[in-house]
Structure formats: C-alpha cells, structure tokens
Amino acid sequence: MRVTLEHVARGDGRLTHDLSDDDKGPQDACGVFGVWAPGEEVAKLTYFGLYALQHRGQESAGIATSDGQSILVYKDMGLVSQVFDESSLSSLRGHLAIGHTRYSTTGGSTWENAQPTLGGSDRGTVALAHNGNLINTAELRTLVDERLGGRAARGELARGNTSDTALVTALLSENPDQPLEETALSVLPKLRGAFCFVFMDEHTLYAARDPYGVRPLALGRLERGWVVASETAALQTIGASVIREVEPGEMIAIDEYGLRTHRFAQPQTKGCVFEYVYLARPDAVINGRVVHEARVEMGRQLAREHPIDADMVIGVPESGVPAATGYAQESGIPFGQGFVKNAYVGRTFIQPSQTLRQLGIRLKLNPLEHVIKGKRLVVVDDSIVRGNTQRAQIRMLREAGAAEVHVRISSPPVKWPCFYGIDFATRAELIANGLGVEEIRASIGADSLGYISDEGMIAATEQPAAQLCSACFTGDYPIALPEDGRIGKHVLETLPIEVRTGHDSSIDLDPADRRQDADGVSLGVSGGAENALLQP
C-alpha cells in the first residue's frame, strides 16, 4: 500500500470576508463532496463540486483520490481555485474521491488541520472530510488515548492536527483487522454533535449524517456513478441528478457492488434554521424547501410584521437581497439596488492598510448615490452580529443623501453561539445579548429596526418547528452540551483545561472586562456555555 501526502506552501490561511478581524460575521460551515465514478475524472468532478461549495468555507481545501491501490491526498490553505491547478488535478487519479473546503470550528486554521484527514495502517487506509462540529471532542480524545495504551499517537494527531476530524480518523483506523464499514458502524454512535462525513478507503465511498441531521447532505446519481455533497447545488453543478438527502442517523456505502445503507441511530431531526437564513446557497434545496423561496417568504413576513412608509427597499448583497425582494413584494414599496458590491475584495490574503480599514465597508460595498439620494429606505439584511457592519452601511447611506434608513432583519436577534458547525462571535460580543431592539437601533444609527419573529422565520422554512434547531436565537440546544464545559474551537489545543460549566445566563463579567464597540456601546455580557464563549 502506498500513501502520499502532498503540500505546496501557498497562503497563510487568513482569508476573510471582512476587512477587520474584529468585525466578523457568522462564519460558514464546511463543505464536503464525494464521488464514486469509474471512468470519470473524479478529481475534476470534486474540484467543481467544491467550487460550488466555496461559500461554506474559505480557509483551506483538499481532495483525496483512490485508484484501488493507493490513496493520494492533496490539500493546502486557501480557496479551491488557489489550491488546485491543472497539474495537481491531473496527478489525482482514480475512480473515487472526496473533497473538503473548510472554515475551522474545532481546531485552528492551520495546514495541519486542513482536510481530508488521512489514517490507517499497512492493511488499509481511510481518508475523511467533515462538515459540522462534535461536542464530545474531549471525551473522544480520552478514548483515543486509552486505546493507544500509552503508545505515541500516529498519523494526523502525531502531525499536530487538533481537529475533531483527526480524532474520528484515528478511531476509524484503530482496528486494522476489521473492515472499515464495520468499524464505522461502531464508531459513529459514539459521536455527539453535528456531523456530515464523507470518507473512503481504497475501494469504497462512505457518507454519514448525525442523528439530528443538523447539517445538510444530499445524494446524487451520475450516469456512471454516485455523488454526495453538502448541498444539492453542488450535485447539479457537475450534472448529477438529485436522488434524496442522506437521512439523519444513516450511513451509505458505495462500491462496485452498488449502494447499500445502514441505520446507526434513530433520527431525531433538528435541522439548522440558519441554513435557510444565510448559510446555504439560494439554489439549494433542503428537506424539500428551496432556500431562495424561504428567504423571499421571510422578507414578506418581515413586511407584515414591521411595515413602514418608505420610498424604496434595498437588500444588502448578497444574502439580504432575496428577503428584500419579498419585503418589496408584500409592502408594495419599489425594490431598488442601493449598493454596488465588489465581488473580489474580501477573498484575498492581503490585509488592508489602516487607512483602508478606516474606510471600512466601502471596499466591499459602495452606495449608488443617484439612486438613494433623498429617498426613505428600507434596508434588509439577514442578521446583525456585532452591529459594526450595519453601522457603517447606515453611515454611508446617510452620507449619500438617504432621507431615512429603516433596517429590517430576516432572522431574530442572535444571542447565543453555535456549537454545531457555525462560528459566531462569542456571546459577550453579540450585540443582541446585552441590548434591546431599541438600544441596537440607536447603536447602529437607524431610524427604525425590526427583526422577524421566531415563528415567522420558521414558518417561512415550511419545516415543523420541532424539527429545527434555532439555538443561536433561543439558547435551546437540542444536543446537550457537556456538563464539564470542555467545548470550544480550541479545546484540543488547550487540554487539559479547567473551565466553568454553561447554561447559567446570570454569569456576568466585571464591568471593566466588558467589550465595547467603536462608539463605546456595550456589546453585552457573557453567559451561556461560558468557557467556550471565551474562545476566539
């Protein structure tokens, strides 16, 4: 058996949507892709599949392929188009492949933590890509250490990988005398949290989704094979027909004998509502609902819940535009383009100078002065995290001559962090955690502010409320967080660690320790799963 791991130094892994590290929006979950298709150029299919999933992660990208004899992994920091070229893709030969585009949730943004991860022994190899976040990472690390029995860690863990994915890879590799399929069915029930896996050995492609189905995972069919991907849009990009979603608690195996499925846990569906609000592509279909249609309906509901007398509705590109369209349709106020977006800034390794930082969002968005001058505007966006971005937008609009600026948000106030695959700000930094709606309105400088209700948002998804996770809005976490508090993005980089347990919203910081925004407005106090909330 031959295993090759290639690394070409390219970027520093500091890609960002934002000009300032102090004003990050919600960071997307990862994207995974897998294909089993003899006779096809599986590396190129995976490349274009990852390209369609690029919005789900911009820190690193990787592809693993197998020709039946050996597995080759090629990964690096950066965007899909920066990591791969014709030469690298042509070296990735075989009949099956998996791919990954990453935003870090557990484990920092380093080359060692890029995926797919690789493990195995002389008798077989496993490559794994993961979308989601496990919440019993510390427990799994203890399990791995126990099974090592004092022996030094091998593979990804020995190379400094501090992600939950590396732990799962180690557990899948622990029994060389047992087929990977059997090992997976014994390991998967031990995992708690949100996960969508695509993994492979030299012959077989596997896909698995956690029992809660927090993150989406879809199955597609090619003329000569099968495909799995985080979103249906990635299947359609490469010409695959969408068959169905991988069910919560289901593992699929695909090889020369066809497709077979296993149930490793009973489904307890809790799909992420934020996929409908922001994360997924508008053309994705999740549980039968087209995401774009859900966002337009959220805009209509916003207009019903928070009407205003205005001259024009504008959406903040790109995620606010569908909801703005719905608001305009329902209210009868004309829809217009108030911002021009530069599609190429915010996807670079070059950090802006201090002068450009002071210009702030103008590098990404510029107001159309001749369109908005003298107008009473309704500005629709998907969420408010810290409030700095909205404050800068409103300032620009007023400078361009807007008479009034009324802000409408197509999700409820974000008050709690996510432990299932989205990297929000810490709770202490979430503006809605410490301020009421009227205080937030004053802080961002809007003439009025309206958030959609929980009920209105959920109704727009056309999903039963009992089958959705809205913990970032309500603090009601459907998958119980560890009572010892060992959770957070850098948990494996900081163990052993003593921390306070969560769920106590009365926990407060000393007033001197409270974070403040640029205008001196408190961003709220800490609380909830306290230890994890202090992580970057």
Catalytic residue positions, numbered: 30
Strand 404-409 to 448-451 pairing = parallel
Confirm whether residue 381 is marked as ligand binding: yes
Q: For Cα atoms 7, 13, 14, give the angle at the middle one, nearest 5 degrees.
A: 165
Strand, helix or coil for residue 531: helix
Which of left, alpha, beta for 258 (phi over 0: left; psi -120 to 50: alpha)?
A: left
d(CA 530, CA 528): 5
d(CA 404, CA 398): 8
C-alpha closest to that of 246 among 201, 199, 282, 294: 199
Check the CA dihedral 361-362-368-370 and report its sign: positive
Confirm whether residue 196 is marked as ligand binding: no
Strand partners, 250: 263
The alpha carbon of 533 is separated from its chain's Cα centroid by a whole number of angstroms, namely 18
Confirm whether residue 418 is marked as ligand binding: yes
Q: Which amino acid does the sequence have at 113?
A: N
The alpha carbon of 168 is separated from its chain's Cα centroid by a whole number of angstroms, namely 19
Strand, helix or coil for residue 195: strand
The tokens describing 77, both together, are 């920091």
The alpha carbon of 442 is separated from its chain's Cα centroid by a whole number of angstroms, namely 30
What Å distances lie between residue 310 and 307, 339, 368, CA to CA?
A: 9, 17, 17
Query: Each residue of 408-432: b (16+ CB within 10 Å) or e?
Result: bbbbbbbbbbbbbbbbbbbbbbbbb
d(CA 388, CA 23): 7
Packing angle, helices 321-331 and 291-305, rounded to 10: 50
Q: Is 83 exposed, middle or buried (0-12, 13-18, 19+ CB in 10 A)?
A: buried
Could you tell me which residues are annotated as the binding site for [4Fe-4S] cluster?
272, 418, 469, 472
Which residues contribute to the annotated binding site for Mg(2+)? Answer: 319, 381-382
> Which residues make up each annotated binding site?
272, 319, 381-382, 418, 469, 472
